[in-house]
Structures are given as structure tokens and as C-alpha cells.
A and B are shown apart, each in its own frame.
Chain A
Amino acid sequence: MTVSILHRITGGAITVVGLAVLSWWLMAIAGGEESFARFASFIWFERLGIPWVIVALSLLTWAFFQHLFSGLRHIVLDTGAGYELRVNKFWAIMTIPTSALAAAVSLYLIMGVGK
């Protein structure tokens, strides 16, 4: 139930916010050095020592993986497998720690290693 609702919320978030950022990022690169610098300064915007946009994009990364894993679960369920109560509940709950872990590892590899 919770995971099903999460699938919709995360899907909505990565569509509305994620695709807007994707378009803006591509336009900023196409617009040249100066337009890219404006985009980068927004991404690294900091207030009270907290980079709010980076925090939001990190949450979006988790939303992406949550949607990916619950989506994979849905594809398995579409084949007619995994409806036994215990199995079903186990994989539903597992999407949450695995998505958090995948997001943490990706963000570490993207931002953490000397970049």
C-alpha cells in the first residue's frame, strides 16, 4: 500500500521536477559558458550553510531509485508472480532500503570522489 503510493509520488516528482531540471541542464549547456555558469550557481545555491538544491536533487535521486525498484516489482507482478502475501510484502518493503542504498552509492560516486 505505502510502496504503491510511493510509486506514484516518486513518479510524479521525477517527471515534473526531474524532467524540468533535465531540460534546463541541456539548454544551459547549449547556451554556452555563461548560461551554464548561471545554471551551476543555481545548483550550488547555498543558504545557512546548506546547499538546498543539492539536497532536493539528492532526494530526487532517491525518488528515482524508489520508482525504479517498485517499477521492477510491478513488472514481476504483471507476469502473475509474487502474489503470496509474505513474498509480496517482503519485496514491497525491500524497495525502500535498496533504493536508499542505491541513491547513497550513486551520489557518493557522483559527488563524493574528488569532484
Chain B
Amino acid sequence: MSLGDSATPLGKVEGLGSSGHGGHHWLEERFTSVALVLLSLWLIFSLIMLPVYDHDMFGQWLRSAWGAVPMALFVITAFKHGVDGLKVAVDDYVHDEGNRIAIHFALSMLGIAGAAVSLFALAKIAFGAVAA
């Protein structure tokens, strides 16, 4: 839609960019990236601090709030950021509008499914459905 000079300043910048969504997704990707700096370093330090890597140790760790809560945040943020990042790459290389939307849809579904499966597994561990 071309509005020419009658467009408001906001109208001129809305919906720009290769994704057609303006700056919103761009900014969101930065927010999740900053969160992931903290969460992924938490994950690596946690793994280093664990004395052994067996089923009991991982279970004990993820049953505590200090393990389960950041892990839930990590799962949600990592899947969101990962899917957002793949979509940016798709925007740059897939130029056909129909294909682009179809791939975005598939990536969203895969990301949400992966996060749901991970969170379900985490909940099962954290709420003690697993024999200790």
C-alpha cells in the first residue's frame, strides 16, 4: 500500500524490513538474546558444579527450585530465540511469499512442540513423578 506524503511518520515505518513486521521482532530477538546470555551461562556453571552426571544427580538438581525454574526459563527463551533466528535467515533467503509463510509456520510449530515436550519432561522430573 502506497500512502505517499499523506502517510503519518508512524505509518511510513510500520511493516518495513524483510519480514514485513517492522522493528518488533528485531527488538524481541535482542531481549531474548540478553536473557540467554545469563541463562546459558547458568546452565554451563550448573553442569560444571554437579559432582557426577548420572540419573540421580540430574534428577536431584532439577527437582530443586534452583534447577527447575531457570531450566524452564532457559527452555522457553532458547526455543523462542532459536525459532526467531531461523526465521530471520529464512526471510533473507526465501523470497517467495507463500513459501516464506509456510516455513515460518512450520518453524513456529516445531519450536512450540519442542518447548512443550521439554517443559513436560521437566515438570515430570521436578514434581517427582520419577522414582528417585
Interface residues of A (CB under 8 A from B): 8, 11-12, 14-15, 18-20, 22-23, 26-27, 29-33, 36-37, 64, 68, 71-72, 75, 78, 106, 109-110, 115
Residue B37 CB within 8 A of the other chain: yes
Chain B interface size, under 10 / 10 to 19 / 20 to 34 / 35 or more: 35 or more
Tell me which residues across on chain A come within 8 A of B82, comparing CB atoms.
Answer: 11, 14-15, 19
**A22 adjacent to B130 (CB under 8 Å):** no
With a cutoff of 8 Å between Cβ atoms, the chain B residues found around residue A30 in the complex are 120-122, 124-125, 129-130
Complex contact B86–A22 (CB within 8 A): no
Q: Is the interface of A mostly helix, strand, loop or mixed?
A: helix
Inter-chain contacts of A19 with B (CB < 8 A): 78-79, 82, 114
C-alpha gap A23/B86 in the complex (Å): 18
Segment touching A, from B7-15, B48-56, B96-104? B48-56
Decide yes or no: A71 and B122 within 8 Å by CB, A12-B89, A23-B117, A29-B59 being known contacts.
Answer: no
